[in-house]
Amino acid sequence: MTMIDTTEDPSPDAAPRALYRLRAVTRTYRQKDRVVKALAGVDLDIDAGAFVTIQGPTGGGKSTLLQLLGALDRPTAGSVVLGGTDIAKATDAELGRVRATEIGFVFQGFNLIPTLTAGENVDMGLEPLGLSKTDRRARVAEALAHVGLADRADHRPGELSGGQQQRVAIARAIVKRPRVLLADEPTGNLDESMRDEILAVLESLCAEGLTLIVVTHDSAVARRADRRLRLERGTVRDITR
């Protein structure tokens, strides 16, 4: 009996599927009679599973780009496609769903709630998903274990080091099992050893398939990326080598 192999990829030459596809993206801010062009025509594809850093001078448009990638904002013109969703055209409800399920955020200042324990802070990341209490407890424990803080679930932020606080913030971002983690200067408030601690956590998450997009002024962070971008006057350049 002859078997026909149907498992073969029909298009082996196809490029890896881009997670993000940005085309001719502009974002202008209007303030009274002044117009600021924060993004001035960005074309960019980002592959799933990549570790990408974005560097560049202050005011270059880095946070503006991150907000578009995070479905927190819409472009003035152009398209920002994440998976099958065009963020420029999606409804507010669709953007809310994308943020709740597909995107984790980490900020320079950790943004933890000081009166809640590490576990309770991480649980906040599950709020929009409507899971049962049992599922939530398991997910929180898993996320804290992922960042090496299984034994700190009951500590409040004030009882943790800066690096540990940032790891709690990362656990809060990944507890929903997003496809992409967006970070704006995640090591900006940390000394060198804590920075390395955070880098190790981020790299292990990337090795498991999470896409990492990190805005950083720290060239030690950028050196570890698969792909380095520079954003200056609203325009992106690839400076990987």
Ligand X SMILES: Nc1ncnc2c1ncn2[C@@H]1O[C@H](COP(=O)(O)OP(=O)(O)OP(=O)(O)O)[C@@H](O)[C@H]1O
**What residues make contact with ligand X under the rule CB under 6 A?**
29, 31, 36, 38, 56, 58-64
List of residues 6+ apart from 63 with CB closer than 8 A: 184, 215
Instruction: Output phi, psi for 20, to 5 deg.
Output: -115, 145
Of 63, 67, 189, 235, the one binding Mg ion by CB under 5 A: 63
CB of 222 within 8 A of CB of 216? Answer: yes
In angstroms, give the least distance from the CB of 59 to ligand X. Answer: 4
Question: Does the footprint of Mg ion cover residue 67 (CB under 5 A)?
Answer: no
Q: Would you say 150 or 220 has its CB closer to ligand X?
A: 220
Q: Would you say 35 or 93 has its CB closer to ligand X?
A: 35
Query: First vs last Cα of the chain: how many Å apart?
Result: 53
In angstroms, give the least distance from the CB of 154 to ligand X. Answer: 35
List of residues 6+ apart from 202 with CB closer than 8 A: 51, 170, 181, 183, 186, 212, 214
From 4-12, 38-46, 60-68, 164-172, span contacting Mg ion (CB under 5 A)? 60-68
- Could you tell me how many residues of this chain bind Mg ion (CB under 5 A)? 2
Q: Would you say 61 or 119 has its CB closer to Mg ion?
A: 61
From 45-53, 56-64, 71-79, 171-179, span contacting Mg ion (CB under 5 A)? 56-64
CB of 228 within 8 A of CB of 222? Answer: yes
CA-wise closest residue to 103 among 25, 20, 28, 167: 20
128 binds, among ligand X, Mg ion, none (CB under 5 to 8 A by kind): none
